[in-house]
């Protein structure tokens, strides 16, 4: 029996190290979830079921994702900017923009782009009217959500230059709440337009205290 003791000791040690590693990875996954910033596009037929079969598709599509621990101060020192990257290179069709939400902490919505929702917070749409952008390049739009002054920076791909300039001249860069123009008019006329999500900016004082401690 004494000859087996070193072997048994080593097995128990290896098992203990494996358990510690598993627990460490589990905690890392929880932190990733808690610090996640996502752009989720909810399906019109969402019934709350998370099934992913062909007959029962998932309730949302994740178009972009970032993390608070990858963010930092924006050009405005009062804002904390979180860069976003796209899931598998997929871009959101403009027609689906109204179904998108900014979510944090593993899927909790903090801002919605649905302008038809009752009692929704006000948000403003601002077109970038910079004439120096490259020919046929992306057209940048900023969404400002009140009352927390959360900003979402996106760009529209495949929006023809002449039509963009025409609307800048007619409407100006400050479009207030013109989601109907983007989703109900522009997306119908140019169904090839897609949305790329670049960045979400939060007012630092509005971040939850536990999150501020985690980022400090």
Give the mean pLDDT of 49-53.
46
Q: What are phi and psi of 43, to 5 degrees?
A: -70, 150
Is residue 198 predicted with pLDDT exceeding 90? yes
Mean pLDDT across 149-165: 90
pLDDT over 70 at 25, yes or no: no
Residue partners of 172: CB distance under 8 A and separation at least 6: 127, 129
pLDDT > 90 in the chain, percent? 31
The token pair that represents 206 in the structure block: 């509005």
Flag the least confident range among 20-29, 43-52, 54-63. Answer: 43-52
Q: Of the segments 49-58, 97-106, 122-131, which one has the largest average pLDDT value?
A: 97-106
Query: Regarding predicted confidence, which is higher, 169 or 85?
Result: 85
Q: How many Å is the maximal CA-CA distance in the chain?
A: 90
Percentage of the chain with pLDDT > 70? 66
Q: Report how far apart, in Å, the C-alpha atoms of 215 and of each of 18, 34, 53, 165 are.
A: 29, 12, 38, 41
For residue 23, the model assigns a pLDDT of 66
Looking at per-residue pLDDT, the higher value among 26 and 139 belongs to 139
């Amino acid at each position: 029996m004494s000859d087996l003791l070193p072997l048994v000791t080593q097995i128990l040690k290896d098992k203990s190290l494996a358990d510690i590693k598993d627990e460490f990875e589990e905690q890392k996954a929880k932190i990733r979830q808690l610090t996640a910033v996502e752009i989720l596009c909810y399906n019109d037929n969402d019934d709350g079921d998370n099934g992913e079969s062909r007959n029962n598709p998932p309730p949302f599509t994740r178009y972009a994702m970032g993390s608070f621990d990858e963010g930092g101060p924006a050009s405005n020192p009062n804002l904390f900017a979180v860069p976003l990257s796209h899931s598998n290179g997929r871009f959101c069709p403009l027609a689906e923009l109204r179904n998108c939400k900014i979510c944090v902490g593993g899927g909790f919505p903090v801002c919605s782009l649905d302008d038809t929702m009752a009692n929704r917070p006000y948000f403003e749409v601002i077109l970038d009217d910079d004439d120096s952008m490259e020919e046929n390049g992306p057209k940048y739009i900023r969404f400002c959500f009140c009352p927390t002054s959360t900003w979402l920076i996106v760009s529209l791909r495949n929006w023809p230059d002449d039509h963009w300039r025409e609307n800048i001249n007619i409407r100006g860069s400050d479009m207030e709440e013109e989601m109907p123009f983007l989703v109900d008019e522009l997306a119908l006329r140019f169904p090839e337009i897609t949305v790329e999500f670049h960045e979400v900016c939060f007012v630092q004082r509005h971040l939850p205290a536990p999150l501020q401690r985690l980022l400090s």
